[in-house]
Structures are given as C-alpha cells and as structure tokens.
Amino acid sequence: MNNKKYRLCELLNPGDGRSLVVDTSNGLVLGVLPGLEHFTETVGPLLPLLDGIVTSLGQASNLGARTRREAALLVRADWTNALRSDDFVLPPENIQYIPLLDMSDALDLGANALVMHFILGHTEEIESQCIQRVVNLALTGASLGMPLIVDVQPIGPRVVLRNKAIELGVSYALEGGADGIAIPWPGVKSFETIHAMSSGLPVWVKPGSLDVDAVELAEALRLGATGFWLDERLFAAADSASVLQALHTLVHVPAVV
C-alpha cells in the first residue's frame, strides 16, 4: 500500500469502510461560526466520534496531538467568498477563488488529505481555475503521497438543474485525479450515476438535514455512500454530541433488516 492509499484508509473505518467527517473550515469565509467560538474546547470531545475533521490552517495548529483512535486531519486548501449569501454582512460583489495551501503544506501539517472547493454556476473563469487546481494538486499529491478530496459546490446563479451540476462537478473532479469527493445529496438517480462514475473511490454525502431519520441519509448509505460530510450546523445544535452520536451509529452500526 502506498502512502496516499494509507492516508486515505485512515479516513475510513476499518470494520465497515465507512466514514463520518465534519467540516469546520467555513469560518475562513463566514467568520466565527455559532457553537465554534471556542474551537479546541468544542471540537476536542467530539473527535473520538469522527473519522475525519476538515480544518483551516489555524484550526489545524490548535488541535494539537491526536491519537489514531481520533479523527484523521484534513486541511482546507483554498478560500472563496462564493459561500457567502446575500444576507451576509459583506455580501460578495465579485466571486473570488484563492488557493491557500498545497500538498507540501498538508504534508508538513501531518494531514491525511487536502480538501478543495469546486465552485459551479459562476463564471467560466472560476470553473476553469478549479479544474486546473484539481489537476495540479492531484499530480503533486501522487508524488508526495497525499490524497486530494474535492468538495463539489453547485452554488452559483447559473445552476439550473442542481443534480446535473453535481454530476458535472464530480466528472471534472474524477477526470482531474481526485481521490475522493464530497457532494450535496443529488437524489437517488443522480447518486447512482455518481457512484458508478466514482469506481470505488470514497463519496461522502453532505446531508441537507442532521435528523438521523431523514430519508436521504438512509438512501445514501443504501446506495453505497462512504458516509456523511457534516458542516458547521452540527455545532449550532442544542446537543451536538448527541446528534453526532446518533449519526455515528447510523453510519457505523446499520440496522439489521
């Protein structure tokens, strides 16, 4: 097993091959996130329930030492204001996509993977930049043994058919050399297409709801999703630990039918 596959495997539970990841890195774009005002104290107790955590550079340095029983570290490679909505205190006038870290930075941080946004639905220039970035990072990652995970974001005003935009983003990512993808739930039919395209690479679903009884969660796992890619909404929940424990159980202890 080469270094890249070894690092990627640390993101997956060895018993079932599934994975539960939480992304805390949106603070880079959105400012302090509700529930994450005290990052280390909030995140630390949850790490044993996670298979991976996505952080910014600053957050990664605050995590300190982690054991193999805790979450693998993924670091965010870029910054974009495309995630800001119109009601944000400084709504974006021009969409920007700015690379921040490369594969050697991830290696220096002791990360298991580098994560990048793939922005769809804005200008051709942004999409072209994302495509080039996937290819460049994948090539460097192959030589350094560092996996690349692409976070597909169909959020621009030009997105008409969201599920087709997700499929397109996945296609670009996989053709560029991504080692895994994180996607919003696209519906059953589109997910079946994406799962077939991925050819065994990890596919995390970003759920629209944290309700463990949500139909899309069960459908995603039934159709072969690697697991779930949660966002900062987890920390705004009244009892984040209980929500995460329920999702951990759903991912790693499926009900017997």
The residue-averaged pLDDT of 69-93 equals: 85
Question: Residues of 7-23 as b/e, b for ≥16 C-beta within 10 angstroms?
Answer: bbbbbbbeeeebbbbbb
Phi, psi of 138 (to 5 degrees): -65, -40
Q: Residue 21 in contact with residue 204, Cβ under 8 Å?
A: yes
pLDDT digits (tens, 9 = 90+) for 149-200: 999 999 999 999 999 999 999 999 999 999 999 999 999 999 999 999 999 9
pLDDT level of residue 218 (50, 70, 90 thresholds): very high
| pLDDT value at residue 76 | 97
Q: Residue 202, by phi and psi: left (phi above 0), alpha (psi -120 to 50) or beta? A: beta
pLDDT digits (tens, 9 = 90+) for 245-257: 999 999 997 654 4
The residue-averaged pLDDT of 36-52 equals: 89
Phi, psi of 53 (to 5 degrees): -135, 130
Nearest to 39 by CA among 21, 27, 51, 49: 27
Residue ranges per structural domain of the chain:
3-252
pLDDT at 40 over 90: no
Q: What percent of the chain has pLDDT over 70?
A: 96
| pLDDT value at residue 257 | 44
Q: Residue 17, by phi and psi: left (phi above 0), alpha (psi -120 to 50) or beta? A: left
The residue-averaged pLDDT of 71-88 equals: 90
Q: Residue 134 in contact with residue 150, Cβ under 8 Å?
A: yes
Q: Residue 80 in contact with residue 95, Cβ under 8 Å?
A: yes
| pLDDT value at residue 65 | 65
Domain 3-252 sits in CATH 3.40.50.300: no
The residue-averaged pLDDT of 27-46 equals: 85
Distance (Å, whole) CA 106 – CA 111: 5
